Amino acid sequence: MSEQRVGADLSVAEAARAAGLSHARVGALVRSGRVPSRRIGRQHVITDPEALLAMPRRAGRPMSPRMAWALLLLADDRRPEWVSPGEVYRLRRHLDKLAADPEPEVALQALVRNRAARRPYRAQQPGALLEDDSVVASGLSDARSGMSAGVDVEVYVHEDDVRAVVRRHLLVDAAGGRANVWLHSSELVPAPSLRLQVAADLAEHGGPRERARAREIVREVVGNRR
């Protein structure tokens, strides 16, 4: 397969290199429909590289949304009301494992990937989202990320408010092109965002800078558990 970029698309080989995954793994994701793609002749090209980069680098069963949020809250010393003492014990064990993991941001991304639905959009004025009371900054847009996001914006919104926010800010789906807004929708939207929430968001971008900062944040949060 050609390894050249096709418009905004990536070949399977190019996408595999960018995501740090094997050619076989990316091919399997394409065939399963988990990564958006289209055919050009006899070849597949990836139409949404961000979806591929957001894939966890480790296999394993992710937590349910309620347990993922419980873990994120507990890491910030906030006791989730909906978990039992036994579940709290298991969540603390997960935090202990993160403290000992050489790539804790990868393990965290795999654990809590069900915390929210992540959608890429394009906006003419992405910065206006940060002035919207319906959203909470996280990931690239959270000051703790240390990222100079420029025109890129990342926010959380309650799942019931997604349509209104999309309409209000004229957001256009960017699954097949260059996104400058990442919108996470969830039933729970803490304000401000939780520290490991920010780390998981950064890890999902897949870039070396984002993953390095995500690792730093995780270690800052759980490092004293070693």
pLDDT at 116 > cutoff 70: yes
- DSSP H helices, the chain, are 12-19, 23-32, 49-53, 65-75, 85-100, 104-111, 162-168, 195-205, 208-222
Tell me how far apart the alpha carbons of residues 27 and 19 are, in angstroms, rounded to a whole number: 13
Tell me how far apart the alpha carbons of residues 61 and 111 are, in angstroms, rounded to a whole number: 7
Instruction: Give this prediction's pTM.
Output: 0.79
Classify strands 43-46 and 37-40 as parallel, antiparallel or unpaired: antiparallel
pLDDT at 163 > cutoff 70: yes
pLDDT digits (tens, 9 = 90+) for 12-44: 888 777 776 778 778 777 775 667 777 787 777
User: What's the confidence (pLDDT) of residue 149?
Assistant: 61
User: What's the confidence (pLDDT) of residue 32?
Assistant: 57
Phi first, then psi, for residue 101 (nearest 5°) are: -80, 135
**Residue 46 pLDDT class (50, 70, 90 cuts):** confident
pLDDT digits (tens, 9 = 90+) for 167-176: 999 999 886 6
